[in-house]
Structure 1
Amino acid sequence: MNRILKGLRRSLPIAVFGTMLLAACSKKKSAESDAKFDPSQAVTVERFTPDSGGVGTQMIIYGSNFGNETGIVKVFINDIPAPVIGVKNTAIYVLIPSQAGEGKVRVQIGTGSNAKEVLTTSSFKYIFNSVVGTLAGFTDKAGNTAIVDGDISKAQFEEPYWLTFDQHKNLYLLEEYRGLRFIDSARTYVKTLFRAGNGLDRPRTLAFNPTYDTLYVTNDQWDERGLSTAILTPESGFTKWNSLIFSQTTNGGDANPITGDFFFNSYAKGEMFRWDRQTKSSRLMYRVDDVNWEFNIQFAPSGDFAYIVVVNQSYVLRTRYNKATGTLDAPVHFVGGRGQHDYRDGVGADARFDHPQQGTFDKNNNFYLTDVMNHCIRKITPEGVVSTFAGRPREYGYTDGPLRKAQFDRPQGIVYDEAAGTFYVADQKNRRIRTISVE
C-alpha cells in the first residue's frame, strides 16, 4: 500500500494526490463512526468535556465501542439520566439534566445480557444557573402601557399586584384597582376575568380553598358597611364574583390549605377574624397590634402555621394554627423591626424591610418575600435568618440576568412552582411579570 501511495505521489500533481489522501482518511473515519456496538469488545471512556455546567449544557464523552444507535445508549450523571442526543462509535453527545449534582458519569451500551457499563474515574460538577427573566409585559419608550389581553408576547399590564396558582398551575393575577387577569399554564395567553368596580374597587389578595372550587378575593375599602371579601367559582370561569363578607376594611386574607378555614384582617382596628362557613358570620379572634395596621395572612403549605406580613410597619409575625379550635394563636414577632423601614439582612428583629408584601414557600418552608420599596426579593428561613435572594437592594430598574444583578421596580406579588423550579413575580412599576428560574 505504501509503495502504491509513493507511486501515486510521484505521478500525480500534489493537489490531486492530497485530495485523494484526504478522501481516504475521511472514508476511514466515517467507517469508524458508523461502526456498530460490538458486545464482544470492551466499552471504554477516555474523558468527557466539559467537567462542569448547568442544565442544558452539551457534554461530549470520548471513548470506544459506543456504536451508532442512540436507542441502546444510556448515560447517567450522578445517577440522574442525561438525554442522549447523538452517538458515533467514539463519542456520545448528551445534555446535562436539571439538578444533576456532583458525581461520576456512567455509560451503558447495549441491552439485556449484551449490555456493557463503564464508570468514569473523574466527577462532573453541576452548576446552578439561577437567573431573572421576563415572562410577559412591556412598555413603550415613554414608559406607557395598557391592559391588553391575548397572545402572551403582546399582552400588557398596568399594576400587577398579587399572584396565585390553581391546581393546574394557571396563574391568577390581581391588578391593583383594576381587576383580575389570567395566564394559562402553558404561558401562551392572557385574559381579563373581571374589571374592578361595583363595590369591588380595590382587590388586594387572592386565596383558593383546598379543593380549588372557591377563590377568595379580599377588598380594601373605607366603608365599614362595604364589601370586605368576595368569592368566585369555576361555574362562571372565575369571571363573576359574589359578595361574602361586609363591614371590614380588609387588606388581606388566606385559607388554610388543609382545613379550608378562612382568615382575614381589619385595617382600621388591626384585628384578625375567622370566617365561620356554617353560620356564615365572622368571628373576632384578637387585635394583632395597633389601629391602621395593614397586614396580610399567608399560610405555609402544611397549614400548621402562617406568617402575618405587616406591610406598613415593615415586619413579619408568626402565628400557629390551632387544630383543636380551628383558629390562629396570638402571633409572635418573627423578623424585621416594627415600624423601621430600612434594608438589612440579619436574624430575627435585627433584619430590616421596607414595605414587604406577598411571600411564597419552598419545600423546606423557606419564605420568599417581595420587599417592595427595597426593590428586591428576600428569603426568610424557618429559623428567622433573612437574606437577599434577588434584585439590587434600594436600586430600582429593569434588568434581567443573574439574581443579584437583576433589577425590579416595586415588586408586589410572588408565587413558586416547585416542579418547574420557577418563581413568578408581579413587578408592579415595571408593568411586567418576571420569572426567577432556580431549577
Structure 2
Amino acid sequence: MENLKFNSCKARVTLPICVVLLSFFVICCSNDEIKSNSETFFPPKADVESTFETFYPDSGGLGTKLILRGTNFGTDTNYVRVTVNELRAKVVRVNDNILYAVVPARADTGYVRLYIKKGEEEVEYTSDKEFRYMFKSNVSTLIGTPGKQAADDRLDGAYTVALLRRPWQITTDKDGTIFWVDEGRGTERNGALRKASNGEVETLVYCSSGPFQSCNAVAFNITQDTLFMANRYAGEVRNDVAVMYSTRDANFVNVKALVNFPKSTTASVVVHPKTGELFFDHNDEGAIYKYNKNAPNGYEKMFNVRGSYNGMDMRLLFNKEGNVLYLVLRAKHCIYKVSYDATTHTFGTPEPFAGEWSSSGYENGEGLAARFNQPSSPCLDPEGNLLIPDKFNHCIRKITPKGTVSLYAGKPRESGHADGLPDKAKFFEPEALTFHRNTLYVADRGNHCIRKVVIE
C-alpha cells in the first residue's frame, strides 16, 4: 500500500513541482558526480622504486593515445614526463600504475622514455622496444612534367604547364613563394632564377653577360627583402663575381655584384639567423669567408674547413639558434659542423658530424658510421633536424642534432619518379630542399620537377 500510495502521488505531481524536483535531482546528481570524481593528487613515493613495464600501442601517428604501465607513477602529472624519440609527449593523466600520453607530431620511430621526479632528482626509464611512428605524409609533384626539360626559353605559366630544366637550388619566403634556380653556366640563357606562387611560374632572370652567370646557391636576408646568390666560377663564366644579390622592391630581376673574388668557385652562401651576417665558401681554398664591406676587398677569411684540402663543393646552413654552422662537403660525402659565437663573431674548430671523409655509400646510423653519396643543399625541419638531399642515393636523409642518420623519403639507390607515401616515392638526383610550414619542397633535378612532401 505504501508503494501504491507513493506511485499515485507521483502521478498527480503538477508541472511546476516536477520542474523543481527535477532540478533538485540534477543538482544532487551533479554534486555526487563531482564528489565521486574528485581525488587527491600525490607524487610518486620517493622511498619506493618505480617501474616502467610496457607501453601500448607500439605504433601510430600524430595524436595517438599512448598508455604506459608500471608502478609508483603517482597521480600528479607535474612529477612525470614522457618523450617519444626524444620529442616530448603531452601527459594527460596518471593514476600511479597507468599513464596516458599523446604522441607528438613528427616523432619518427624511436624509444619511449618516462621521466619521474623524486625529490630533487629525475629518474629516466626507457622502453625495451621502439615506438613505430606512422607518418601521415605524402610525396607529390608540384611543378613541372617528370622527365621533360625546358629549352633555353623557359616555359612559364600554370604549375602543370610550366617546364623546368635541372632545378638545383631552392628556397621559400615567409609567404610561401618558392624561388629556385635552373642549373646553367655562361652567358647564353642557360640557367635561370624562377619563382612560383598562386599556381603560376615566372622566370625572373636568365644567365647573361651580367653578374648572373652560374648561380649555385640562394639565401634570403633576415627581413627577406634581399636574395643573396653564389656565382660559381667555371669555364663558361666570364666574370669574377662570387656573391651577387637582388631585391624584392625590384621583383628580384635586377641582379648586382656584391663580392668580387676571382676564381673562388663559390658554391654556397648562408645568412646568420640572428645577426644577419653573410658567409660564403671558397671552394679552391676549402675555406669560409664573411662579407665585410669595410674590409679591403669586401670580405674576410674565417677558417679553413680541414687543413689545405680544397674542392669540397660545400653547402652551408646554420641551425635555428645560429650557434652551429653545418658544412655539407658534397664532394667528400660527409657533413662537418662548427660552433659559432655571435657575440664575438668567431668560429670554433670544424669537426666531423655525419658520414666519413671521401667514403661514399648508403648507410644509416650514428654519426660517422653513416654513408652518403654526394649530399647536397640541406634545410631544417620544424624540430631542428637536418634534412639533406642525398643526390646519387636518390633519396632524402634526416640527421638529428645528435647525429643520428635515417631515411626520410625515397627509395635508396633507386632513381625514378613516383609519388605516394615517403617510403614508396622515387626521386632522381635531388639537389636542394627548403621547408615552409608543414611542407618540404624538393628540387628534383633529374626529373626536372619541384616535388613536395606534405607532413601531417
Q: Give me the TM-score of the superposition, normalised by structure 2.
A: 0.66
Identity of aligned residues (%): 31
Kindly state the Cα deviation for residue 197 of structure 1 after the two structures are TM-superposed: 2.4
Residue in 1 that maps onto 2:138? 131
Give the counterpart letter for 1:149 in structure 2.
D
Residue equivalent to 2:300: 283
CA distance in 2, matches of 1:384, 1:53: 24
2:380 matched residue in structure 1: 361
Cα shift at 1:325: 2.4
Alignment partners' CA distance in 1, 2:431 and 2:172: 16
Residue in 2 that maps onto 1:116 = none
Distance 1:100 1:203, change over 3 A: closer
Q: Which runs of 4+ in 1 moved over 3 A?
A: 52-55, 98-101, 143-146, 222-225, 277-280
In 2, distance between residues paired with 1:220 and 1:375?
A: 24
Are 2:196 and 1:183 equivalent residues in the alignment?
yes
- For structure 2, list consecutive stretches of 5 or more residues without a partner in the other structure: 1-22, 27-58, 63-89, 92-103, 108-132, 185-190
SS in 2 for 1:373: helix
Does 1:203 find its partner at 2:220?
no
Residue aligning to 2:321: 302
The 5-angstrom pairing of residues 12-31 of structure 1 reads none
Q: Work out whether residues 160 and 174 of structure 1, in 8 Å CA contact, stay in contact via their aligned partners in 2.
A: yes
Shift of 1:128: 3.9
* Contact 1:258/1:303, CA 8 A, preserved across alignment: yes
In the other structure, the counterpart of 1:336 is 355
Q: What secondary structure is seen at the aligned counterpart in 1 of 2:452?
A: strand
Change (3 A) 1:394 1:139: closer
Deviations along 1:4-31, one digit per CA (max 9) or x if unpaired, are xxxxxxxxxxxxxxxxxxxxxxxxxxxx
Counterpart of 2:376 in 1: which secondary structure? strand
Cα separation, partners in 2 of 1:343 and 1:189, compared to 1, 3 Å:
same
The one-character-per-residue Cα deviations of 1:64-119 (angstroms, maximum 9, x if unpaired) are xxxxxxxxxxxxxx99xxxxxxxxxxxxxxxxxx9699xxxxxxxxxxxxxxxxxx
Equivalent pair of 1:254/1:264 in contact (CA under 8 Å): yes
Structure 1 pair 402–145 and aligned structure 2 pair: CA distance change class (3 A) = same
State how far apart, in whole Å, the 2-side matches of 1:430 and 1:175 are: 12
SS of match in other structure, 1:358:
coil
Aligned to 1:212: 224
Q: Secondary structure at the match of 1:404?
A: coil
Of 425, 430, 434, the match for 2:447: 430
Cα distance, 1:373–1:99 mapped onto 2, change above 3 Å = closer
Distance in 2 between residues matched to 1:291 and 1:225, nearest whole Å: 21
1:156-184 Cα shifts (integer Å, max 9, x gaps): 10111111111212111011111211011
1:350 aligns with 2:369: yes
Q: Distance in 1 between matches of 2:382 and 2:230?
A: 27
The two structures, once aligned, show a CA RMSD in angstroms of 2.8
Provide closer, same or farther for how the CA distance between residues 262 and 224 of structure 1 changes in structure 2, counting only shifts above 3 A: farther
Q: TM-score, normalised by structure 1?
A: 0.69
Equivalent position to 1:227, from 238, 241, 249 = 241
- From 174, 192, 195, the counterpart of 2:203: 192
Q: Where does residue 394 of structure 1 map in the other structure? A: 413
- For the structure 1 residues 323 and 224, does the alpha-carbon distance in structure 2 shift closer, same or farther, using more than 3 Å as the test? farther
- Structure 1 residues 92-149: Cα deviation after superposition (integer angstroms, max 9, x where no partner): xxxxxx9699xxxxxxxxxxxxxxxxxxxxxxxx964221111111057xx4544211
Structure 1 unmatched ranges of 5 or more: 1-39, 43-51, 56-77, 80-97, 102-125
Say yes or no: does 1:259 pair with 2:275.
yes
AA matched with 1:168: D
What is the CA-CA distance between 1:272 and the residue it aligns to?
A: 0.9
Deviations 1:209-238 (A, max 9, x none): 111122110011047971101011112110
